[in-house]
Structure 1
Amino acid sequence: MAKMPPRLGIAAADDPAAISIDEIAHALGTDVEAGLSSAEAARRLQSDGPNVLRSAPTTPNWRKLLAQFQDPLIYLLLVAVIISTVAWLLEGRPGWPVDALVIALIVIANAILGYVQQARAEHAVAALQRMTAATVAVIRDGDPIRIPSDGLVCGDLMVLSEGDAVGADARLVRAAALRVQEASLTGESESVHKEVATVRGPAVLGDQRGMVFKGTAVAQGTGRALVTATAMDTEMGEIAAMLESTAEAPTPLQREVGRIGRALGIAVVVIALVVVVSTFLISDIRGAADIVTVLLLGVSLAVAAVPEGLPAILSVVLALGVQRMARHRAVVKKLSSVETLGSASVIASDKTGTLTKSEMTIQRVMTASGSTRVTGVGYTPEGSLQHQGAASPTAAVLAEDIVVLSGGSLASNAALRQRDGQWEIQGDPTEAAFLVAERKLGLTERRIQRFERIAEVPFTSERKMMSSIERDHEHGDQPVVITKGAPDVLIGRCTRARVGMAVVDLDDDLRRRILDDVTELSDDALRTLSVAYRPLAAGEDTASAELLERDLIFVGTVGIIDPPRPEAAVAVEEARRAGIRVIMITGDHPGTAVRIAADLGIVEPGSAALTGLQIDALDDDSFVEAVRHTSVYARVAPKHKLRIIDALQADGNVVAMTGDGVNDAPALKAADIGIAMGITGTEVTKEAAKMILADDNFATIVEAVREGRGIFNNIRKFLRYLLSSNMGEVLTVFLGVVLAGFIGLAGTGEAVVLPLVATQILWINLITDSAPALAMGVDPETEDVMAHRPRRPSERVIDFRMWMGVIEVGAVMAVATLATIDLYLPGGLIEGTRSLDNARTAGFTVLVFSQLFNTFNARSETVSAFHRLFVNRWLWGALGVSVLLQVAVVHLPLLNAAFGTVPLSAGQWLVCVGMGSAVLWFSELRKLFLRWWIGSHRSSAPSES
């Protein structure tokens, strides 16, 4: 067990659970009512450090940089440096070892690029972690405030409420029906009852009823506790100290990218060996320099063909995408969740606050004189009263409505106020609904001046009523009891009724009409509350609720509803268009749930909800079948939510589940994407969830799904681009060696017949595999991602059609490059007159431009490259930099020597750009065919029933 730190003035061997509260407070130098002062808390935080568990030591930047060199492909490049250096030494060190220097510079440039990309990803994740940091309530300077959990210090007075995560080990000084979940520490599944008690002698953790511990959660009740240990001094800290750090498992996407890299690496090594062997057989090897040239070609080809920057680019793209989600009010806690979010096929949403505004609103008032409709929704007091279609009710009806709304406001402990232009409530939302409706009449100030509260009879679940005793200053300070409660109970306590300005006996006919009104409101899925009152006689006993709440005068009944969010209906329709099924899971009444679901378009009007009791009555097979067809679940318990999620997942769905209460945590953890409410959600649900809605809005979920799909599409874009471009390099060298005799390379008199030299291949890899690929990772939508059904979990990121496209585009690049070389070389299929260096430079430039043009092709497999051509300014910037670098390598003498290039004429530049664009026109024709093929198969497919 965690001991009292020596700095508190008590021996470290002492157990805080066995020391009295007064001794604890004295040792901690704190007050059990006012807590610490802000200044003292700041001093202790500076002295003791933040309340965080010690993590693995931070990797120094120099180690992160060195890690960029720890890759098999980099090892190949380093081997190339050694080979070229040895050759330079064997030849008597003529001039500078250009090949070795260029390759070394490329290795360093790649390492710096990878380091920068990794740092950006880490910074993005760190920012997200700061956004989702847990908070705790404490008393400082005598006032309650909420602070980040890492700001807790010994001596802080924590305030605990249901759903809170306990931020540090602490000794209870106050507890009311407090129960804490300690399974994370003790393995005990049941919550533990806590009380202000001192243990006698040593006690195991589970028996320390007067202590709460970091990492546990409040399941019920409230309490206050003095922090006795933070960070690594806590019980959780002791466990953390014993654990070995474990690396996070790679995501499915990362695993597939790894498989692609390994498969491609093996294939390319084989191709490189074939090219090397073929080159040796075809060429007239005359010395060590020629051997080194061939070996460098093989090594360079292997390096160029595998997109070694892919993992870093993937991390950056995911991190940037998650940051965009955060700007849309959806905070994703882990990068790995993004790919799952885009695959969601079911969104299981809570009703209150997510699909609805969580602002209880009175829509109708039913009195003896008829029904009045109250316009306006939410807590903003804007609206009016309309009676049976008229612009305003009659005087008699208005008199009744005033008594109902003002009476309900009096029998209430809620408050309505305006802050920074926004109306907000304090207290029960249902009670606040009366305040809002009353303020729409403009009578609030008069009611406040007229009545003064004397006493209150609180609501109890047995009575189902609440009463307030008020002094009426307009009637000689006469006391009056005003009662608000469930209609069926309240009507039984009434003997008279208010009709207009008069009071009449409540006969059977009038009682039946009132009950019919209640039924009508309930049938409209409105929550009902009735209001009654009675003037009290002088000296009448007000201590007994039973005596007070009798012989009441019935006034009327209100129909209350939590109105659906206007944007939620649009979001539900968007989700359905995307092939995502939306279901509602709520603890509310079935009628209310179906009404809201129908208003939002989740179900058709008149549909049925499945209740918790009905779920219990179904066996597993029947339940699975019911889940396939039921979209509204009402009056459900936590176990039912978990069973629903399990059934949906067993049926092959990827489930996103929302929740805000402690009881939602198991279902959120079981769901593929658990989504916690950022405003109303408890710390426990936020911890269990993978995503947090900062605005508690269902529409944000759908927007996050859109963003997730867009991120996944962008990953496919840069994979398509990288693989097809690298395939072009491999095929260019391979076919250039094999077909050297056909394209004039064999007749150049060179000992080693190569279409491109090793440094040129590495240069292409450097300027085309980095910035353009990264820019494609942040590409805006080029097609409507919500027009497609969700991606199946078994669906590969790179499917057969994409692999075919990669090979076809790579082949076009190779043909265009080799055709350009043939165009300028003497002999071959096309007679030319230029030197080998000139022809090779032109081919080299064509291959660069082919890959740059390929960025536009890769933005979609079927949509034209000219669609939304200029929306990605980052891509155009990256292409501009790449073009400038290619111009430099062709025309700067220093780079000419390093990369074996010579300047090109203006006419040759035009030819190179034109030949490079061949890949664009080929892809446009391919996309046109794919659109026709997909359209014809869709039109011929049988329609779904």
Structure 2
Amino acid sequence: MDASNFDGRRSTGSGSLTAGTRDPALRDAADVTRDLSTDPTTGLSTAEAARRLAADGPNALRGKPPVALWRKVLAQFQDPLIYLLLVAVVISLVAWGAEGAAGLPIDAIVIAAVVVLNAVLGFVQESRAENAVAALQSMTAAGATVLRDGELRTVPAAELVRGDILALSEGDAVGADARLITANALRVSEASLTGESEAVLKDPATLAEPAPLGDRLDMVYKGTAVAQGVGRAVVTATGMGTEMGAIATMLDETQESVSPLQKEIAAVSKLLGVSVIVIAVVVMVVTAIVNDASSLSEFVTVLLLGVSLAVAAVPEGLPAILSVVLAIGVQQMARRNAVVKKLHSVETLGSATVIASDKTGTLTKNEMTIQRVVTASGEVELTGVGYRPAGEARHDGHELIDPALVHEVRLVLGGGSLANDAQLREHDGEWQIQGDPTEAAFLVAAHKLDGTVERAGEFERHGEVPFTSERKMMSAFVGRGAPDGALTVVTKGAPDVLLRRCAAVQVGDDVVPLDGTRRARALDDVERLSAEAFRTLGVAYRRLDEAAVRDGLDEADEQELVYVGVVGIIDPPRAEVADAVAEARRAGVRVMMITGDHPTTAARIAADLGIAGHADRAVSGTELDELSAEELREVTRTTSVYARVAPQHKLQIVDALQADQQVVAMTGDGVNDAPALKSADIGIAMGVTGTEVTKEASKMILGDDNFATIVAAVRQGRVIFDNIKKFLRYLLSSNMGEVFTVFFGVVLAGVIGLAGASDEAVVVPLLATQILWINLVTDSGPALAMGVDPEIDDVMARRPRQLSDRIIDRRMWTGILSIGLVMAAATLLTIDIFLPGGLVEGSDSLEVARTAGFTTLVFAQLFNAFNSRSETTSAFHRLFVNKWLWAAVALAALLQVAIVEVPFLQTAFGTASLDLAHWGVSVLTASAVLWFDELRKVVWRARQRA
């Protein structure tokens, strides 16, 4: 992203601050400081800095304005199912008023209570998620060292202003975009901004022509960190005017996607809404015609029946249960170091078909490690990764014992540790570095060889020739004892450059001439390591005589060196990532790597992790620029590794995958990842190394930066999706049972003996309060228990759900309707058995027969809870693994007994006491639901085997 117009991006406090619109990287540092009215030797005055801060505002990224509490509450009611329930409340109140407004409007009160409960659950859970995210982001406020009033001071980074003179040193975070004035071996880690894993050597020399962000060597940027050296720079941009701010602005233009579950629930809600209206109208018309309704009282009864059916058809508990199940999933993920900001994101992970991951710090440790040492006597492999100095040296797969090779390796690693400005230390059991990660790799590798560190510690440094981009090497002058003793120049740098300065080579304890054959072999070793994606550094030395020391130490001493060997350095993959990638592939989830690193390095890491084959290559950002939209879609279908990409390339890749009907989970930690994270179906930010912008753009944050946690989240998401299907199957089939019972009970009233069983104007099989009770008791408890059902089958052994797949597909609808019909048949048969007349002659009153039918329907739904745990597996499979389901069923059964047998509840719900025979018949006919579904599953499994 271009950093020109460094003044034009934000308001200026006064005309004196206007510095033109040209890129500061292309301007002389003196011109930049003059235009910004600052002095490189004294900096700004305190008063002037305060004035500029007031004019330009704090050096902070513009966050989203806080959402008002009332808006957060109102958002919980913006759901199609909630709209449907609110309509049911209105209809219930109208019916209650038409009946004379006697007593309390029970129907309306209960439905409204469900709506409020759902809103409370959603509000509380989202508030908890926001607090968790805030906790991850609440780190110590960054500070910056600046020159103010001629003195160095540490001020909060938020108080930096344009014109401030930054003093940079190892370990500092760069607080704002700035033009370098001076630099001494200054290396800056820009991985969070560019994705490049290697620290960049900075140079204050003015650029001759515009360059990409990662190649602007005379600039430092907000959000990066100093890995080595010192320097001073003048601040040219703060806040939203920085490169980080530019990416944050891009986020505002990126649209967030809607989760697959949200889309599906919205579709189901619309379908239910239309169905409710049609069913209610049909039943009311049929009831009015069959019962010849003519009076106001009869029409009120018919209207109340319509409301009852509307209540029966709508699973009132669905929004609340969905929120609770997703909230439980969020809590389970939080215990595994993943903070989910939106409930629906948990389910989306289960539908993911692609995980597009950044490399540096996500798939890799972001800890440079020496894995190879090649000398004249052979090649040695160093085991162990990262900064913990644990590992061993191996040659040809065996322990390193060859004395000549041991000596050469000691010289390589010892020399690299001496020509070194990094530090390695242990703190509370954790190994940490200060300085350049590549230099620290030598210290770690040296620790792995017994005695090397002790020997290196015997040396004292007496001078150095620092590294520059032109020289591509550095030298340290070291010796034992007094400064006037014999010294050795130890040099490390680019192997090809180093070899040109060498006249001999170390072979065991001997030094032999570096002839053409040995030189060619050394260069071949370097090329081979580079082809394997290693970064290479050579090491050489030369003993100086006293005359050379007396004449002074300089670049002239870096001649006639003795070449020792070359090391292969790489940012190693995280140990757990390869297994996580394999598990993702087993689950049909494709893992992609999208990085700003070198294509060869990216391809090597991808092959090591199993993301791509060893013969596959990485596609670069330059190549992506040449592709049309259709060509890009074709490339994303077959290529899994992308290197040297810019933020817009990541967005293009995500968009191409989504256009190809893929559900994309995008991981990342740097600012450059943020737009793609927001655009992806689920953006996953790193909690430890992730930037504030990245966390804001994401839907989920990993507290441990562990890629394996993502795969665990995919498993959890699939389990949650299975459980959502379970309770949807249960709720809808149970509600269909209620609808069919009322509908066919009215239509077939004469057949089953209902028509003449009472002098009521309109005789119905179930009362409105009984229907509401069934929904309240049987829907909520068992459905919620199914939402936490353990994993029954191996959910990672199947392919991801496609976007075209419906949560409720044709087979599921067939099961729902067939179970509903069986429920209705069992309920109406029970009523018929106990009523006089009808198909079966009985002798009980309408109240007793209706109570028996009411009880049958309740128990049929409780049996259905066990059916619904699987669409294909027997209800008796792992029958007792869900204790919550058994508790919910037992509680519902006890409450039903209370409704039937407790006198004041009998009055409220129109029930009558049942004897043992009534209870037996009701439970027995209700069990028909279980046996019918078992038979259906047996037939289905037989067809599958055939």
- Normalising by the smaller structure, the TM-score range is 0.7 to 0.9
Superposition RMSD in Å: 4.7
* Contact 1:585–1:634 (CA under 8 A) maintained in structure 2: yes
1:317 and 2:331 aligned? no
Aligned-pair distance for 1:433?
A: 2.1
Q: Of residues 268, 279, 296 in structure 1, which corresponds to 2:304? A: 296
Q: 1:609 to 1:104 in 2, by over 3 A?
A: closer
Encode CA deviations 1:268-325: one digit per residue, 9 max, x unaligned.
Answer: 2332233233333333769765554333222121122112343343334334333333
1:902 and 2:906 aligned? no
Rounded to whole Å, the distance in 2 between the matches of 1:229 and 1:663 is 16
Tell me the residue number matched to 1:371.
379
Matches within 5 A, 1:233-248: none
1:446 and 2:467 aligned? no
1:764 and 2:807 aligned? no
Encode CA deviations 1:58-107: one digit per residue, 9 max, x unaligned.
Answer: 22999899999985544544543554465457xxxxxxx46x45435524
Aligned-pair distance for 1:417?
A: 2.2
Q: 1:77 to 1:539 in 2, by over 3 A?
A: same
Aligned-pair distance for 1:589?
A: 4.6
Amino acid at match of 2:445: A
Q: 1:377 to 1:16 in 2, by over 3 A?
A: same
Aligned-pair distance for 1:532?
A: 1.0
Rounded to whole Å, the distance in 2 between the matches of 1:437 and 1:710 is 44
Rounded to whole Å, the distance in 1 between the matches of 2:934 and 2:259 is 34
Tell me the residue number matched to 2:756.
747
Rounded to whole Å, the distance in 2 between the matches of 1:64 and 1:343 is 25
Task: Calculate the TM-score normalised by the size of structure 1.
Answer: 0.79
Secondary structure of the 2:421 match is coil
Aligned-pair distance for 1:630?
A: 2.8
Secondary structure of the 2:576 match is helix
Amino acid at match of 2:70: T
Secondary structure of the 1:850 match is helix
1:795 and 2:799 aligned? no
Encode CA deviations 1:309-360: one digit per residue, 9 max, x unaligned.
Answer: 4334333433433333333333334344444433322223333333333333
* Contact 1:77–1:299 (CA under 8 A) maintained in structure 2: no
Amino acid at match of 1:912: S
Secondary structure of the 1:745 match is coil
Encode CA deviations 1:142-191: one digit per residue, 9 max, x unaligned.
Answer: 999999x9xx79999999999x9x999x9999998999x9xxxxxxxxxx
Rounded to whole Å, the distance in 2 between the matches of 1:51 and 1:599 is 40
Q: 1:631 to 1:103 in 2, by over 3 A?
A: closer
Matches within 5 A, 1:22-33: 25-26=46-47
Encode CA deviations 1:218-270: one digit per residue, 9 max, x unaligned.
Answer: 5899979899999xxxx99xx9xxx9xxx999755434423432332332233
Tell me the residue number matched to 1:139.
143
Tell me the residue number matched to 1:633.
642
Provide structure 2 residue ranges, at least 5 long, that are not aligned to the other structure: 1-11, 19-35, 147-151, 191-203, 205-220, 227-231
Rounded to whole Å, the distance in 2 between the matches of 1:258 and 1:159 is 54
Amino acid at match of 2:782: P
Tell me the residue number matched to 1:943.
none
Q: 1:665 to 1:122 in 2, by over 3 A?
A: closer
* Contact 1:342–1:712 (CA under 8 A) maintained in structure 2: yes
Matches within 5 A, 1:177-216: none
* Contact 2:573–2:609 (CA under 8 A) maintained in structure 1: yes
Matches within 5 A, 1:216-227: none
Encode CA deviations 1:771-807: one digit per residue, 9 max, x unaligned.
Answer: 3333333333233322222222233332222222221
Rounded to whole Å, the distance in 1 between the matches of 2:827 and 2:165 is 71
Aligned-pair distance for 1:613?
A: 5.5
Tell me the residue number matched to 2:823.
813
Amino acid at match of 1:865: A
Tell me the residue number matched to 2:735.
726
Rounded to whole Å, the distance in 2 between the matches of 1:167 and 1:811 is 69
Rounded to whole Å, the distance in 1 between the matches of 2:850 and 2:674 is 64
Rounded to whole Å, the distance in 2 between the matches of 1:415 and 1:467 is 17
1:269 and 2:281 aligned? no
* Contact 1:767–1:882 (CA under 8 A) maintained in structure 2: yes
Matches within 5 A, 1:565-576: 565-576=574-585
Secondary structure of the 1:373 match is strand
Tell me the residue number matched to 1:508.
516
Provide structure 1 residue ranges, at least 5 long, that are not aligned to the other structure: 1-11, 33-44, 90-96, 182-194, 196-215, 937-945
Amino acid at match of 2:841: E
Say which is worse superposed, 483-492 or 536-545, in terms of deviation: 536-545
Tell me the residue number matched to 2:118.
114
* Contact 1:139–1:159 (CA under 8 A) maintained in structure 2: no
Q: 1:518 to 1:139 in 2, by over 3 A?
A: closer
Encode CA deviations 1:492-540: one digit per residue, 9 max, x unaligned.
Answer: 1111222222322222232233223334434444332211112334474
Q: Of residues 761, 768, 780 in structure 1, which corresponds to 2:790? A: 780
Q: Of residues 380, 387, 396 in structure 1, which corresponds to 2:395? A: 387
Tell me the residue number matched to 2:720.
711
Rounded to whole Å, the distance in 2 between the matches of 1:229 and 1:630 is 37
Amino acid at match of 1:735: F
Encode CA deviations 1:671-716: one digit per residue, 9 max, x unaligned.
Answer: 4433333333333433444433333333222222222333333333
Tell me the residue number matched to 1:57.
68
Secondary structure of the 2:467 match is strand
* Contact 2:738–2:824 (CA under 8 A) maintained in structure 1: yes
Aligned-pair distance for 1:761?
A: 0.7
Secondary structure of the 1:553 match is strand
Aligned-pair distance for 1:14?
A: 8.5
Aligned-pair distance for 1:821?
A: 1.4
Q: Of residues 130, 134, 138 in structure 1, which corresponds to 2:134? A: 130
Tell me the residue number matched to 2:496.
488
Matches within 5 A, 1:804-883: 804-883=814-893
Task: Calculate the TM-score normalised by the size of structure 2.
Answer: 0.78
Q: 1:522 to 1:154 in 2, by over 3 A?
A: closer
Amino acid at match of 2:567: V
Rounded to whole Å, the distance in 2 between the matches of 1:436 and 1:219 is 24
Aligned-pair distance for 1:873?
A: 3.8
Q: Of residues 902, 924, 941 in structure 1, which corresponds to 2:934? A: 924
Tell me the residue number matched to 1:209.
none
Secondary structure of the 1:819 match is helix
1:600 and 2:609 aligned? yes
* Contact 1:450–1:474 (CA under 8 A) maintained in structure 2: no
Rounded to whole Å, the distance in 2 between the matches of 1:350 and 1:172 is 27
Q: 1:316 to 1:408 in 2, by over 3 A?
A: same
Aligned-pair distance for 1:586?
A: 3.7
Query: Aligned pair count?
Result: 852
Rounded to whole Å, the distance in 2 between the matches of 1:20 and 1:593 is 44
Aligned-pair distance for 1:444?
A: 5.2
Amino acid at match of 2:125: A
Rounded to whole Å, the distance in 2 between the matches of 1:160 and 1:712 is 53
1:680 and 2:689 aligned? yes
Q: 1:587 to 1:80 in 2, by over 3 A?
A: closer
1:401 and 2:412 aligned? no
1:307 and 2:315 aligned? yes
Q: 1:102 to 1:633 in 2, by over 3 A?
A: closer
Secondary structure of the 1:556 match is strand
Amino acid at match of 1:428: D
Amino acid at match of 2:905: L
Say which is worse superposed, 119-128 or 286-295, in terms of deviation: 286-295
Q: 1:404 to 1:433 in 2, by over 3 A?
A: same
Secondary structure of the 1:59 match is helix
1:562 and 2:566 aligned? no
Rounded to whole Å, the distance in 2 between the matches of 1:229 and 1:574 is 42
* Contact 1:77–1:303 (CA under 8 A) maintained in structure 2: no
